[in-house]
Each structure stands twice: as C-alpha cells, then as structure tokens.
C-alpha cells in the first residue's frame, strides 16, 4: 500500500487515540470522578476537543486523504477504500462546520443542559425554552454549513446514521406506526393481560450484581476486556477491542430494571468487542452507525432477553440467587411477566411495542423544528397532541412530556431515530440469525449463546464500517431494512402472550 495511505492510517490512529482518551474523560466523569472535579474536567474536555478538531481539519490529513482517494491500490482494497470513505466523511463535516459554531454549540449546550436539569426538576418549560431555541438555531446553522440535498434534518441525521435520509425514515416509520397502532388497540382488549409483579420484590444490589455478571458471562462478555460499574444512567464506553466498559443501575424493588440494562449494554459492548481488532484505530474498525449499534443492544435485551427460552434459563439463575422468591416460580409465568405492554408517558420505561411510538413523536417534532415549520414555543402543545394520537395518553406535566429527555439539551437532533432503526435492524438481523441457527431456541434455553455471538461477530461485528449500515443489512439479511420482521415478531409474541389475534 502506498506511503500516503499509510500516513493516513497513522493520522487516523492518532485521532482515534485522542477520541478514545476523550471517551475516558467522559466515562470517568460519570463513574469515578469525585463531585468537586467537575470544573477541571470541563477544562480538560474543552482542550482535548480543540486538539481533536485541529487534527481533523489539519491540511496534511486533507492531502493524504485526497491522494489515497485517487490511489488505485486503495480502490482495489475494500477495507482501504472504506477507511478513506469514512475518514473523508468525518473530516468533511469538521472542515465545513466553522470553529466558532462548534465552540458556540459546546458553550450553549452546557448552559442548556444546566437549564434543562432545573426545568425538568421544577416542571418549568419556560426555563428551558430559550436555551432550546438558541440550540435549534445553532443546529440549523450547522445543517446549512454541512449541506444537504433535500432538507436540513438530513445533515444532522447523517452524523449518527451515515447516509440515512429523513424522508426515507419517515416513510418507514409511518409503516411502523400503521402496524403498531392496531396491535396496541388489540392488546388493550385482552381478557387476561400479564402483569410484571413477578419481577418485583426486594433485591439487594450485591445480589443483582451477581446475577448481572452471570448473564453477561453467558452472553460472552469478557471481563478481562471490560468492567461493570454503577452510574446514574446505564451506558457503554468502548476505547478499543480490549477495553469496553458497561455501567448499569439497580432498582432494589424491580429486578427487570438493572437486569435488562445489563443485557442492553452487554449487547452494545459485544458489538464493540467484536469490531475487527486488526483494524483497531482505523475508521473502518469503528461502529458503522448508531442504528446498527442499537440493533445489537436491542437484540440481546429483547429478542434474546425477553424470549421464552432465555427467560426459562434466567428463571433458574434467579432461583439460585433468590431461592425463596423464585424456586417455585413457573418460567412461563415469568416470561409473560417480562412481556407486559402498557402505553406510558416515559420513553425509557416503554415496552417493545410502544417504544417506537415515543421515537416517532420525537422525530416528527425535531424534523419540523429543524425545517423551521414549528417553533420552540409550540412544543409542549405539539407533544401532548402527538402522545394523545399515538399512545392514547394525556400528558399531565411537561416533566412527563417534552422535558423528559436529555438529548435536545446536548444539541442532539437526529439522534432519536437511530433508536427505532435499532429496533427494526434487531428484528431483521435476529430473523436472519434464526435461519442460520436452527438450534437457537434450545441453546437459549440452556444459556448457551456462543453460536449466536459467533454468527453476529462474523456477520455484523466483524465488518466494522466496511459496508454502510443499509448495505450491511442487505448483505446479512438478503433484503433492505423493512418494518416487517419487527412487526411479525411483535404480532407473534404479543398475540400469544395476550391471547389475542394480531
């Protein structure tokens, strides 16, 4: 391979080192840092962000990228071509967004986040609204700077789901909504709906930690390449394929909360751990999109974790930790209790069926905001209107409505759709895995998940960013992303659990 391309890999590797060091500053802040360290940490992050930005827009990187893009050697090697494609995409964005805009977004984001915390706490939309208006304005400027063919929202979406277009997603999500609303109506009429009571009780954190580690070990998570800690909100942080860390949080009265957080974050972590180690530090060695990332967390959380065979295995593990609570429990009853569908106001508490309706509410609102079709002042009423329409619920307070999520206060617009993309990809990928693994149900019932992980590694994790997300989907599942596998899964599972025809 020619020298310019090798130099490109060197520069990209340094950018990866600095970005993953930023990741450590963030992980440590959430998990380990003492409270009085916050001011110094903000300075460290600001300085490192500036160093990273300088590296990204550096002229030499532009030169070697251009030379590599013109190289026949590179064109002949799909991994090299993908490296050039991904690095160019990231650099183009960094070059196009003026430094003062980046700084303004960081500054206003910090203020907006503080305002959001207070606004949510006091259910006081007016405290947050002016900050949100500023952020929307800045994000519209960012979209204009990045450029777009059809609508500004595409430019924001592209940061999280490269290549995705708002109009395509809107069409996909409309089909999903049209499929889900009748499901929800039918479930409402069920004669014997399940309840989650079997998952409630008193569960010491230390005992939940034992169960969580057993489940993660069964999934194939390697504790020699990671950690499990507690933080306010569960998250996964991967630095390289030898160090991918998970956090969770435990509710001492509700076992599902921490356990399914472990499965969810464990799924994210297995993806990061399965990225091609020999490409570590290269753009092609990174996660391809947030949608694919979320597909892995949702696959383990819902397709595996809330399946009948896996819950029957779980029941045994739970009985070993809490014999008095679980020894006499019927695994079938536990399975039903893990699959309660109930429209609720809060996205992060939503079930498999209603979750995507929360996302559709958000995407419709933020797409219109970024297009300038609605104003920040309209949001509380618009939120109520859409939640009523899709979930059939009245929103009593903004705290349980438009103020519930942190994302917009960080300036994250275009991020929410990747959650639903993750759900759709998870069902389509899991259906493909099933076709290749005829013994999967028996394996899940035995807590043997190695074949599934092996299939995911070979087909989803191992390619890294070699293919774009939509291409990967076609290669692995034989067809473009569709709402059908997800709707099939939902209808089959919940029709049976609720005893209704779907």
Shortest Å distance, C-beta 27 to a second copy: 9
State which of residues 1, 2, 7, 21 lies at the interface with a second copy (CB under 8 A): 21
Beta carbon of residue 206, minimum distance to a second copy (angstroms, whole number):
12
Dist CA 416 CA 162 (whole Å): 14
Residues 111 and 333: their CA atoms lie apart, in Å, by 48
Residues from 259 through 298 that contact a second copy (CB under 8 A): 280-281
Q: Which helix (H) or strand (E) holds 309?
A: helix 308-321
Considering only residues 191 through 230, tell me which ones interact with a second copy, judged by CB under 8 A: 222-227
**CB neighbourhood size of 396 (10 A):** 11
Least separation, in Å, of the C-beta of 35 and a second copy?
5
Nearest to 288 by CA among 143, 429, 489, 77: 429
Phi and psi angles of residue 246, each rounded to the nearest 5 degrees, phi first: -115, 145
List % helix, strand, coil for the chain (3-state, nearest 5).
70, 5, 25
Q: How far apart are CA 468 and CA 89, in angstroms?
A: 12
Binding-site member from 41, 53, 85, 434 for a second copy (CB under 8 A): 41
E strand or H helix that includes residue 229 = strand 228-230
265 is catalytic: yes
Which one of the listed residues 86, 108, 161, 265 is annotated catalytic?
265
Task: Closer to a second copy by CB, 224 or 328: give it.
Answer: 224
Query: In this complex, which beta carbon is closest to a second copy, that of residue 29 or of residue 214?
Result: 29
Q: Within 451-490, which residues bind a second copy (CB under 8 A)?
A: none
Residues 83, 9 contacting (CB under 8 angstroms)? yes
For a second copy, the closer of residues 229 and 471 by Cβ is 229
Q: Which is nearer to a second copy, 186 or 453 (by Cβ)?
A: 453
Task: Give the residue, chosen from 24, 76, 171, 474, that forms a contact with a second copy under the rule CB under 8 A.
Answer: 24
Smallest distance, Å, CB 17 to a second copy? 4
Span from 62-70, 168-176, 239-247, 376-384 in contact with a second copy (CB under 8 A)? 239-247
Build a one-symbol-per-residue string for 44-63: x at contacts with a second copy by CB under 8 A, - elsewhere.
x-xxx-xx------------
Q: Which stretch binds a second copy (CB under 8 A): 117-125, 235-243, 396-404, 482-490?
A: 235-243
CB of 282 to a second copy, least distance (A): 12
Residue 25 interacting with a second copy (CB under 8 A): yes
The Cβ of residue 91 has, within 10 Å, a number of other Cβ atoms equal to 21
Phi and psi, residue 193, nearest 5°: -70, 145
Q: Based on CB atoms, which residue is closest to a second copy, 26 or 137?
A: 26
CB of 361 to a second copy, least distance (A): 39
CB closer to a second copy out of 207 and 378: 207
Q: Which residue has the tokens 């930790």?
A: 321
Among 40, 130, 323, 478, binds a second copy (CB under 8 A): 40
Alpha-carbon span 436 to 194, nearest angstrom: 32
CA distance 51 to 47: 6
Size of the site for a second copy (CB under 8 A): 40
| Least spacing, CB of residue 273 vs a second copy, in Å | 9
The pair of structure tokens assigned to 484 is 């059908």
Stretch that binds a second copy, among 30-38, 56-64, 172-180, 404-412 (CB under 8 A): 30-38
Separation CA 415–CA 190 (nearest Å): 34
The kind and range of the H/E element at 238 are strand 236-240
Contact 207/459 with Cβ under 8 angstroms?
Answer: no
Instruction: Name the segment binding a second copy (CB under 8 A); options: 38-46, 77-85, 121-129, 319-327.
Output: 38-46
Among 235, 239, 310, 498, binds a second copy (CB under 8 A): 239
Does residue 103 bind a second copy (CB under 8 A)?
A: no
3-state SS string over 425-441?
Answer: HHHHHHHHHHHHCCCHH
With binding defined as CB under 8 A, does residue 181 bind a second copy?
A: no
Sheet with 243-248, edge to edge strand ranges? 228-230, 243-248, 236-240
Task: Render 41-101 in DSSP notation, one character per residue.
Answer: HHHHHHHHHHHHHHHHH-HHHHHHHHHHHT-HHHHH-HHHHHHHHHHHHHHHHHHHS-HHH
Would you say 41 or 53 has its CB closer to a second copy? 41
Show which residues are catalytic: 265
Residues of the shown chain interacting with a second copy in the complex, contacts defined by CB under 8 A: 13-14, 17-18, 20-21, 24-25, 28, 32-41, 43-44, 46-48, 50-51, 222-227, 239-243, 245, 280-281
């Amino acid at each position: 391979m020619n020298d310019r391309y090798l130099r490109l890999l060197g520069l990209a590797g340094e950018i990866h080192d600095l970005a993953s060091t930023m990741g450590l500053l963030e992980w440590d802040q959430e998990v380990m840092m003492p409270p009085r360290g916050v001011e110094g940490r903000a300075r460290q992050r600001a300085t490192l962000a500036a160093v990273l930005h300088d590296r990204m827009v550096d002229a030499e990187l532009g030169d070697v990228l251009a030379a590599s893009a013109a190289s026949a050697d590179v064109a002949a090697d799909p991994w090299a071509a993908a490296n050039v494609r991904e690095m160019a995409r990231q650099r183009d964005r960094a070059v196009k967004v003026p430094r003062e805009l980046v700084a303004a977004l960081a500054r206003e984001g910090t203020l907006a986040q503080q305002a959001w915390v207070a606004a949510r706490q006091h259910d006081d939309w007016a405290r947050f609204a002016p900050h949100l208006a500023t952020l929307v304005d800045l994000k519209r400027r960012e979209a204009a700077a990045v450029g777009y063919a059809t609508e500004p929202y595409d430019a924001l979406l592209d940061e999280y789901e490269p290549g995705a277009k708002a109009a395509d997603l809107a069409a996909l999500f409309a089909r999903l909504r049209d499929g889900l609303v009748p499901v929800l109506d039918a479930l409402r009429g069920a004669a014997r709906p399940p309840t989650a009571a079997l998952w409630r009780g008193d569960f010491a954190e230390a005992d939940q930690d034992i169960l969580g580690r057993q489940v993660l070990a069964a999934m194939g998570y390697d504790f020699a390449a990671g950690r499990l800690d507690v933080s306010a909100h569960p998250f996964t942080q991967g630095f390289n394929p030898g160090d991918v860390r998970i956090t969770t949080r435990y509710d001492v009265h509700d076992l599902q909360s921490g356990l399914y957080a472990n499965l969810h974050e464990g799924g994210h972590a297995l993806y990061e751990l399965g990225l091609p180690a020999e490409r570590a530090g290269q753009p092609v060695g990174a996660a391809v999109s947030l949608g694919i990332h979320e597909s892995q967390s949702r696959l383990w959380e819902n397709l595996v974790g809330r399946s009948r065979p896996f819950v029957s295995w779980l029941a045994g593990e739970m009985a070993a930790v809490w014999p008095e609570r679980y020894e006499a429990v019927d695994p079938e009853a536990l399975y039903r209790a893990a699959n309660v569908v109930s429209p609720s106001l809060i996205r992060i508490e939503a079930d498999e069926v209603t979750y995507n309706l929360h996302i559709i509410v958000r995407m419709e609102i933020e797409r219109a905001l970024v297009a300038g079709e609605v104003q920040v002042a309209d949001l509380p009423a618009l939120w109520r209107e859409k939640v009523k329409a899709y979930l059939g619920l009245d929103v009593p307070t903004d705290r349980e409505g438009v103020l519930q999520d942190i994302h917009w206060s960080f300036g994250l617009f275009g991020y929410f759709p990747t959650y639903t993309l993750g759900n759709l990809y998870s069902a389509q990928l899991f259906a493909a895995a099933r076709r290749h693994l005829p013994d999967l149900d028996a394996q899940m019932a035995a807590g043997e998940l190695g074949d599934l992980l092996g299939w995911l590694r070979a087909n989803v994790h191992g390619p890294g960013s070699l293919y774009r997300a939509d291409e990967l989907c076609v290669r692995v599942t034989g067809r473009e992303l569709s709402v059908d596998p997800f709707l099939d899964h939902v209808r089959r599972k919940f029709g049976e659990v609720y005893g209704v025809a779907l």
